[in-house]
Chains A and B, each alone.
Chain A
Amino acid sequence: EAGVVQSPRYKIIEKKQPVAFWCNPISGHNTLYWYRQNLGQGPELLIRYENEEAVDDSQLPKDRFSAERLKGVDSTLKIQPAELGDSAVYLCASSLNNYNEQFFGPGTRLTVL
């Protein structure tokens, strides 16, 4: 069974530029999560989707971050414009529902110069 797929794996951009990350969850998983992980820290939730509905986006910086989950499958996380402090690893995870274990993708390492 294929795991969670993310792309790109690495991205280097100048500050104030836009950037987008893509995630394809495990087939049949209704819940999708985006996390941010800073160096030496655990992942922190940005947004949680149940099918196509964003049910918890309280930690998403809405002035510059946006996300969507088309048809309840793939998801895209966007930052516009990027700031130096956005440099981190962005992880996507999925689960059958919010009460099952979450399976993580490999992450996208973002560097903002």
Chain B
Amino acid sequence: EDQVTQSPEALRLQEGESSSLNCSYTVSGLRGLFWYRQDPGKGPEFLFTLYSAGEEKEKERLKATLTKKESFLHITAPKPEDSATYLCAVQAVYGGSQGNLIFGKGTKLSVKP
């Protein structure tokens, strides 16, 4: 069964304190791994897609990396406006959920000034 596990569930950082969020997955052939940001009362906002192990993508203070079993979202020198829930999702090539996004529960990030 395709599955996504995100850790930690919640993370509190001081402004400027860098850290990483983890997304572990099991999938019947990975077609893509997606990161989204979700603010309270809003829909998820697309950040990155990663397709193969070793791939990295960056956007401002965020950098996403991918291995064969997990992905990391690194946050460098975060600011309070980075506070949000970060969702990870995988898309499988094979199996019953083929082509659909399977989401994790998310990591709620709080950055204090």
Contacts and interface: CB of A to CB of B under 8 A. Distances in A.
Interface in B87-111: 87, 89, 91, 96, 99-101, 103-106
Which of A44, A104, A109 neighbours the largest number of chain B CB atoms within 10 Å of its CB? A104
Interface residues of A, number: 22
B105 A106 contact: no
A61 interface: no
A44 B89 CA distance: 11
Interface in B10-61: 31-32, 34, 36, 41-46, 49
A107 B43 contact: yes
Does more than half of chain B's interface fall in helix, strand or loop, or is it mixed?
strand
A107 B104 contact: no
A105 interface: yes
A90 to B, nearest CB: 10
A105 B44 CA distance: 8
Interface residues of B, number: 23
Given A42-B87, A45-B100, A56-B100, A102 B105 contact: no
Given A42-B106, A45-B100, A102-B101, A107 B42 contact: yes
B103 A42 contact: yes
A67 interface: no
Contacts of B101: 43, 45, 102
Contacts of A45: 100-101
Contacts of A56: 99-100
A104 B87 contact: no
Which 4 residue pairs spanning A and B have beta carbons closest together?
A: A42-B103, A104-B43, A101-B46, A104-B44
7 contacts: A41-B105, A45-B101, A56-B99, A98-B99, A99-B32, A99-B91, A101-B49
